[in-house]
Each structure stands twice: as structure tokens, then as C-alpha cells.
Chain A
Amino acid sequence: MAVSFEVPRRGSTLKEIWIQFKQASRLGWLIESNWADPFVFAVYSLIRPLSTALILVFMYLVVVRGSTSNPFFVHLYIGNAFFMYAGRVMMGISYAIIDDREHYEMLKYIYISPLKIFVFLLGRGVAQVITTTVSVLVILLLGLWPLGIRIPWSSLNWPLFFISFPLGIIAIAFMGYLIAGLALVIARHSWAIADGVGAVLYVVSGAIFPIDILPSWVQVISRAIPLTYWLELLRRSLLGSSFSPSFNTMPDWELFLWLVGLTVFFGFLGYFVFQRMNIVARRKGLIDQTSGY
């Protein structure tokens, strides 16, 4: 795989960052996709999320034996579709550290190149956003037909959707940095942390069920993560109603403020932890450690 890099003129910092970001995104895309022809890659990208969605469809059908236009099912389906961003973008950023350090043994070369590691990881995350968007669109189309979920097109709240959606992606990216930071200083268990955080978020964010059904102490965690508010806002903007009864009384602006506040909090936390762990890993000589291969 040949990756050509443009050499920026000195002094053009923004342009330099843009080139690094662009090349890292391209590299991420090539790593994701160049092992197969485009058709096989398309099937590969869709088969996992489609299967997860269909598991939920059959779980619903076997119990309820009713119509898939039921509001409960529609909320569950939409939540599951958008949660894919959390799984894949967060993993994309954190796994880049694990893969490049342990598997391809390239992380040390990234560090000694003019690339900024922070920008490099962001680019790797962007490649995941693109592939995930395709998967989400296909799952939503499958939901509309043949599953027949009903979306009230006339009352869609596009402004709410378009301001909430990117904010949630930013929050997810910073959570990815948080895990990437931990992965820098942890050897054998770094993949488990990445997978574990994704699995925890799937449960506590109420992606596929209302958070009210969780034990009360878990609901405290649910309310402390941006994903819960993000999924709730996306559901409201697309479906016009809440999944969780406890959010029923909360107006859109309040949910949005929670999302903004928690995104800023996780933004600082992710950035701080990553930069701190980056220094620790370099001091301890962990950048080129290999423990799993």
C-alpha cells in the first residue's frame, strides 16, 4: 500500500494539520478496505450491523408477534442503528493504537514522522464515520422497507437532528481518545478495554431499551454520558417522541444542554487523558511494545 504525502511549506500550520488529517483518513480507509474488492468490502461492512439489527427484529417478533410499526420497536430500531457510530468510531480511534503498535508495528514510525498523533487518530476515526454512515443508511432503509417502520415525515425536526448529530459524533470521538490514551499504557488488556467500554455503553445508553428499566444505580451512569442524550435527541428529531418515560418531561433544549455540557466534559477528559498517557508512554518506552503477537 503506497501512501504519498504532500510536503507543506513551513509556517502553514493549519494547512499542515489539514494534510495530516486528510492522509490519516485516507490511510484509515485503505487499512479498512484494501484487503478486498469493493463488492466484498461492501458486504463485509453491512453484514455485521444488519445481523445485529435483525437479531433485535426477531427478538421483538417472537415476543410481541405484532406489527413492526409499534413505537417501541421503532425507537429500539433507530437507537440501535445510530449506536453503531459509538461502537465503530470509538473503536476506530482506539484500535488504531492497538493495531498500529501491536500488529503492524508502525506506531513508532508514526511518532517519528511529522504527523501529529492526535490528528492521525482523528483521521482514522473519520474513515469509520464514512463506512458507518453507509451502514446506518442501509439499516434505516431496511427499516422503512420491508420492515415497515413509520417515520412521521411531515413533523421531522431537521434542525434538532442536524445540530445534535455532529455533537454526538464529537463526543464519541473524544471517548475514543480516552480509550486510546489508556491503550497507550496498557499492554495485553487494551483491546478488552476498548470492547468493554463499547459493550457498557450499549447497555447504559438505552440504545435498545428505555433506561428506566435499568437498576437505579446504573441509571445514574446513563445520565452521566452524552450518548444517552444524543440518542434521545435523535429519536425525538426523527420520531417526535421519547423512548424513556423519564425523559418525557424534559424539553428538547434541556436535553441539548446536557449533550453540550457532557460533550465538553468528555472533550476535556479525552484530550487530557490522551495527552497525559502519551507522555507517560513515551517516558516509559511503551510506544513500540508488542505483547499480543
Chain B
Amino acid sequence: MRIPPPLELFIRSIIGRAYPRVIGANRELSWLIPETVLPLLGLAAYVYVYRAMKAPTEFVGYVVLGGAMTAYWLNILWSMASQFYWEKETANLQLYIMAPVSPMAILLGMGIGGLVASTIRAGAVIIVGSLLFGVTYQVSSLGLILLVFFLSMVALYGMGMLLASLFLLSGREAYNLSNALQEPVYLFSGFYFPVKSLGFWAAAVASIIPLTLGLDAMRQLMFPGDPTLGFLSPWVECGILLLLCPLFLYLAKVALVKMERAARIKGTLSLRWQ
């Protein structure tokens, strides 16, 4: 039996873990309906609130973009951070740990697969939401938007890997923590309103969540209606995201090693329903 060299094994592990995420997510196409309709309903409520307040039309665009981005945050919470909890519940986690692959490769595969699956859902929300609520975009720099999006996603999924490592020890509380982190991040990252309105320092602290800066930059580049609503300039936000990418990936690696060792010592890797 041929044993592949470490780098090949690492890459094959990433592909192997990403594969079920991409294929599985699109095998049951009926999932697309609730996964598109549910965020649309959520954002519809906020669109009508803005309309009732006679807000400028770009606010509807803010909500649609923010609503689409929830797909990524939900993916981080439920398919990254609490993933090892689900794997424990289905008795898969012990198999991952026993397999001769790097857990970091498994996390990367989960992240890449999740990113592809979430992009399909986010795209559907943007298209349907924009058509439904008549959103018009004034794209000033497509290249910069794509760069901001790319950096936000790398940093965000790095953060997801970090959370997955930190949640490795968790039992049922992983589910509850993910549940508890959902709306607070919608609030602090300004999913439905410009983050600047939280105040400078609150927005600065919230910038540790990559979507905060990513959303703010993308909104400024897509809806240049009121320049005073932007938190920092898109280029500055791009620079900060560039720093967050390696930071989260490094922290995820360190946390994974420590938490895996702690879980082995405590014997929690195969505990179900705890």
C-alpha cells in the first residue's frame, strides 16, 4: 500500500472533507428552499421596518446584503464551530482522530466546502431579495469588492476553525453557545444597519468579527448614497482584514492542538448526549 507524502495527504484530506459539504449540500436540492426562504423572511421584516420609517432606499440594500451574509455566519456557527459536537453525536469524531490525517486539514476542508455551499445560498438570497424589494446597486469598484469579500471569507472561516477547536471539548453547551452567538453577531456586525451607528469604540471592538468590516466595506462600495454611514474607508478595512486572515488561521492551529490534547485527557471525544 502506497503511503502518500504528508503534503499530498494534507491536500487529499482537505478535498475529502470538502467533498461531502459541497455534494451533500446540493444533493438534497429541496434544502435550498428553506435555506433561501428563511433568510428572506427574516430580512423582509427588516425591509418593512425601514419602509415604515421611510428610510432612504439604500437601507433596503443594506438589509438584503446583510441578510445574504447571514448564510456565512450560520454556516460558521452550525457547520464549523459546533461541527465537532455533531460529529461526536454521530460517533464520527473518534474516527477523525484515529485517521492518519491532520485535524487542521479536516477543518480546512470543512471550511472550504462550507464556503462553497453558503455562497450558493447567499447568492440566491441576493438575487431573490434584490428582485423582490427592487434593490439597485451602484458598484464603484468590482475588483475591490471581490478582494474585500475574499479576505472576509478567509478571515471568517479562519475564525470558524478557531471556534471549532475551542468547541471541541463541549457537549450540549456547544449547541446552546452557537444558538446564543447568532443574534449578538447580527447586532455587533451591523448585519441590518450601518455598524458605525454603534459608536466608534463598539464598532472597533466588533471589527474582530471579519464580517463587520467586510459588510461595511461592501456596502460603501455598492451603495455610495451617504458616505457618512461608512465606518472606515474600504481600503483601511481591507488592510485590517488582511491582518485578521493569518491571525485566525494561526490561532485555530494552536487551539486545535491544545483542545484535542485536553479532550483526549478528559476522555470526551466519544461522549454522546452529554
Contacts and interface: CB of A to CB of B under 8 A. Distances in A.
Interface of A: 35-36, 43-44, 47-49, 51-52, 54-56, 58-64, 72, 76, 103-104, 188-189, 192, 195-196, 199-200, 202-203, 207-210, 213-214, 293
Contact of B34 (A43, A76, A192, A208): A192
Given A51-B187, A52-B183, A58-B197, A200 B41 contact: yes
A54 B180 CA distance: 15
B99 interface: no
A226 B86 CA distance: 37
Interface of B: 28, 30-31, 34, 37-38, 41-42, 44-46, 48-53, 55-56, 59, 86, 89-90, 171-173, 176, 179-180, 182-184, 186-187, 190-194, 197-198, 229, 273
Contacts of B46: 55, 59
A76 B45 CA distance: 12
A195 B31 CA distance: 13
A61 B52 CA distance: 14
B45 A203 contact: yes
B183 A35 contact: no
A209 B197 CA distance: 21
Given A55-B186, A203-B41, A76 B176 contact: no
A67 to B, nearest CB: 14
Given A189-B30, A192-B38, A213-B51, 4 more contacts: A47-B183, A51-B187, A63-B59, A293-B90
Contacts of A189: 30-31, 34
Contacts of A104: 273
B186 A59 contact: no
A59 B49 contact: yes
Most chain A beta-carbon contacts within 10 A, residue among B30, B38, B45, B46:
B45
Contacts of B55: 63
Contact of A48 (B56, B89, B172, B183): B183
A208 B53 CA distance: 11
A59 B190 CA distance: 9
A51 B184 contact: yes
B262 to A, nearest CB: 19
28 contacts: A35-B171, A35-B172, A36-B173, A36-B176, A44-B176, A44-B180, A47-B180, A48-B184, A51-B187, A55-B46, A55-B183, A55-B191, A58-B198, A59-B53, A59-B192, A59-B193, A63-B53, A63-B59, A64-B53, A72-B52, A192-B38, A199-B41, A203-B41, A203-B45, A203-B48, A213-B51, A293-B89, A293-B90
